[in-house]
Amino acid sequence: MVGKLYIVATPIGNLEDITLRAIDILKSVDTIICEDTRVTRRLLDRYNIQNNVDSYHQHSKDKKVDQIINLLKQDKNIAYVSDAGTPGISDPVGKLVEAIVQEFPNEKIVESIPGASALTVALSLSGFNADNFVFVGFLPHKKGKETLLKEIIESKRTIAFFESTHRIIKSLEKLNDLGFQKDRKVVICRELTKKFESIYRGNLEKVINDLKNDVTKGEFVVIVEKSK
């Protein structure tokens, strides 16, 4: 017998946005693996979940993957949660899942507990056609960034990406400098489901000005209307 790895979606801001099934899993597993134990502890305390917590993040060594696999071999059930939202979307769990699937090729060992995702929330708020969209994650810091921005400008599909507080305005200005169409719309979502949730809509120039006149702290999801 081997244990199971549950990929558990957690709230992206409002702690009430968690499923009953997710709470049950987090209470019942033998241990919880997360990106940042401090962040996850706040959620667990909110629902009085007393459980073991360990970290697994982008800087974790292969040794940590081996430790998790050994726990599964001991028939231990494990829940993995990211800092917010559905794991596997711009976080390190993909490498872990790949290693586990390779280790147990004939076992149904990984199970998803679905829930909140900043990506799908932003798409649903955008009003753009999302029947066919492309998600490109976080924009590169330097290498390959201009190439990707040019692809966004030329795309005939709705585009979604993440950006950080410190780079959001510079990235949008660079997109504008590269020839982004003046009549093409963008929607930018900040602090989704939180107290200071903000939605910025309009052409790129308007949205850049709106951001400059507002407090630009927080996580950003950018939705770009497809090229006409």
Nearest to 82 by CA among 95, 92, 73: 92
Max CA pair span of the chain: 60
Please state the pTM of the whole predicted model.
0.91
Name the CA dihedral angle for 180, 181, 186, 190, rounded to a multiple of 10 degrees: 30
Residues 10 and 91 in one domain: yes
Residues 19 and 68 in one domain: yes
Q: How many CB atoms neighbour CB 88 within 10 A?
A: 17
The pLDDT of residue 60 is: 78
Residue range of the domain that includes 10? 5-113
Nearest to 33 by CA among 61, 69, 68, 75: 68
The pLDDT of residue 92 is: 81
Report how far residue 161's alpha carbon sits from residue 81's, in angstroms, rounded to the nearest whole number.
21
Instruction: Look at residues 67, 90, 113 and tell me which one is the last residue of a structural domain.
Output: 113
CATH classification of the domain holding 171: 3.30.950.10
- Identify whether the C-beta of residue 62 lies closer than 8 Å to the C-beta of residue 98: no
Residues 162 and 199 in one domain: yes
Residues 17 and 107 in one domain: yes
Q: Terminus-to-terminus CA distance in the chain, angstroms?
A: 55
Place of tokens 């753009």: 128
Report how far residue 92's alpha carbon sits from residue 98's, in angstroms, rounded to the nearest whole number.
11
Nearest to 217 by CA among 194, 201, 185: 194
Residues 183 and 219 in one domain: yes
Residues 106 and 123 in one domain: no
Report how far residue 106's alpha carbon sits from residue 31's, in angstroms, rounded to the nearest whole number.
23
Residues 138 and 72 in one domain: no
Instruction: Look at residues 53, 83, 113 and tell me which one is the last residue of a structural domain.
Output: 113
DSSP for residue 225:
P
Report how far residue 216's alpha carbon sits from residue 185's, in angstroms, rounded to the nearest whole number.
20
The pLDDT of residue 228 is: 80
Report how far residue 35's alpha carbon sits from residue 200's, in angstroms, rounded to the nearest whole number.
29
Task: Please count the structural domains in the chain.
Answer: 2
pLDDT mean for each 10 residues of the chain (228 residues): 96 96 98 95 97 88 91 97 92 90 94 96 96 94 93 96 94 97 96 93 96 84 94
Residues 138 and 42 in one domain: no
Which tokens sit at 109? 């060992």
Report how far residue 227's alpha carbon sits from residue 15's, in angstroms, rounded to the nearest whole number.
36
